[in-house]
Amino acid sequence: MAKNTYMRWRLPLVCLLWEVAMIVLFGVFVRFGAEADAHWEEEKREMNLTSDIENDFYFRYPSFQDVHVMIFVGFGFLMTFLKRYGFGAVGFNFLLAAFGIQWALLMQGWFHSFKDGKIFIGVENLINADFCVGSVCIAFGAILGKTSPIQLLVMTLFQVTLFSVNEYILLNLLHVKDAGGSMTIHTFGAYFGLTVTRILYRPNLEQSKDKQGSVYHSDLFAMIGTLYLWMYWPSFNSAISDHGDAQHRSAINTYCSLAACVLTTMAFSSMLQKKGKLDMVHIQNATLAGGVAVGTSAEMMLTPYGSLIVGSVSGIVSTVGYVYFTPFLESRLHIQDTCGIHNLHAMPGLIGGIVGAITAAAATEDVYGKEGFIKAFDFTGVYQTRTPSIQGGFQAAGIVVSLLMAFVGGAIVGGILKLPIWGDAAAENCFEDGVYWEVPEDEESDVYHMHNPDKPASP
């Protein structure tokens, strides 16, 4: 069945209307935070700072840039592994993230940086907006190659909204710690995306099976994404932790976890194959599970060897997932998960939430020091009386809330995306850039022959 994938008026309309909306809302609500405002000279004195170099910019900005690279190059290139969907992978990721960060600045701003009718932003807001969009990039991984750019923008609009609500519930109402976002970003993002792709189930997707694989160079492009995610993940997990030891510790734990994860991934990638050869899919993805799995606990006293254990386990779980779970999810549960986000984000995200709950529950004043204990878990004000075990319980509740939000939200948004007005491609045209992109002329005839070896060559 031919579908109408003509974007000429629909895509521009959505992009322009939404951008106008952003401008209006930013005009009404968004202002510079104290440390980015020219009134800073006066503010500085009030904040008891003695010099410009104590501006928070200098202590968050390098991490922000690393996170920024992860969102745009990391996620973007990770998804270029498909032989004919590199433009869509990098380009649509670029589009949805660029819109998402604007909308996230507003949504998160209303919840967290709202004062006297205005949202005051600084570098930390930029990081949080990138984080929020990270969860959309994850969900994008499940539906990669099967949706139109408009669907992606619609999904971004709703997912950013739901993310912000969920984040508010977890961080503010449950007073849960989740600096690296195992729950808010990975668990929520992945199960949301899996639910959406389940709703959008395409029974005839095997018609584009020949395009679902990689070619040699597309696998190398994907490794650019993998490595940037892997290398900068310590910045991701530490970017919004408290200044000082928490941020320092967070980077170390993540570094350790990721290193261990690479070894177990390689081991299981080879072991689970009859020929014993390594599979690039695993190397590109499962090596990152160690970063996801310490997202909640990295800023806690997880300890380096604890990190190695968590990283090792998550590499194994993730690789096993690619080999056994992904085919099962597709054949039995009709969940078509293009990038295998169930293995890279969903399961490791759950591990991360659980490890976080356990690490919090096991906290003692002896390990953290008297002051460090209070600071690490923010046991001040109304939370003064919280004990570690209660905190652990709330952390666990955070996982449940994130899952519920993902399933319910994903089902509703999936339903909206199923409407036949968004211009998605027919099953046989999935995973093909030519649908939404001008593809270099010569290339096509090449590809034409490539995929139609039985057709005669051009004269």
Using alpha carbons, list the distances in angstroms from residue 192 to 17, 405, 414, 430: 26, 8, 9, 21
Nearest distance from C-beta of residue 415 to a copy of itself, angstroms: 25
**Site map for a copy of itself, 6-35, x if CB under 8 A?**
xxxx-xxx-xx-xx--xx--xx--xxx--x
Residue 375 binding a copy of itself, by CB under 8 A: yes
Looking at the Cβ atoms of 92 and 192, the one nearer to a copy of itself is 92
Stretch that binds a copy of itself, among 61-69, 180-188, 197-205, 349-357 (CB under 8 A): 61-69
Residue 247 binding a copy of itself, by CB under 8 A: yes
Dihedral angle computed from the Cα positions of residues 150, 153, 159 and 162, in that order, rounded to the nearest 10 degrees: -100
The residue from 110, 111, 201, 210 that contacts a copy of itself (CB under 8 A) is: 210
Nearest to 104 by CA among 128, 122, 121: 128
Residue 84 binding a copy of itself, by CB under 8 A: yes
Residues 342, 326 contacting (CB under 8 angstroms):
yes
Nearest to 401 by CA among 134, 212, 188, 205: 188
Residue 415 binding a copy of itself, by CB under 8 A: no
Residue 110 binding a copy of itself, by CB under 8 A: no
Residues 293, 311 contacting (CB under 8 angstroms):
yes
Dihedral angle computed from the Cα positions of residues 335, 100, 280 and 445, in that order, rounded to the nearest 10 degrees: 90
Residue 373 binding a copy of itself, by CB under 8 A: yes
Residue 68 binding a copy of itself, by CB under 8 A: yes
Residue 211 binding a copy of itself, by CB under 8 A: yes
Residues 135, 345 contacting (CB under 8 angstroms):
no
Spatial CB neighbours of 337, under 8 Å, sequence gap ≥ 6: 141, 142, 194, 197, 326, 329, 330
Stretch that binds a copy of itself, among 163-171, 190-198, 242-250, 411-419 (CB under 8 A): 242-250
Residue 73 binding a copy of itself, by CB under 8 A: yes
Within 10 angstroms of residue 214's Cβ, the number of other Cβ atoms is 17
Residue 340 binding a copy of itself, by CB under 8 A: no
Residues 302, 278 contacting (CB under 8 angstroms):
no
The residue from 203, 277, 419, 420 that contacts a copy of itself (CB under 8 A) is: 277
Rounded Cα distance between 94 and 229, Å, is: 16
Residue 30 pairs in a beta bridge with 119
Stretch that binds a copy of itself, among 221-229, 338-346, 388-396, 400-408 (CB under 8 A): 221-229
Looking at the Cβ atoms of 2 and 38, the one nearer to a copy of itself is 38
Residue 212 binding a copy of itself, by CB under 8 A: no
Looking at the Cβ atoms of 323 and 346, the one nearer to a copy of itself is 323
The residue from 107, 123, 199, 323 that contacts a copy of itself (CB under 8 A) is: 123
Nearest distance from C-beta of residue 399 to a copy of itself, angstroms: 24
Rounded Cα distance between 176 and 167, Å, is: 10
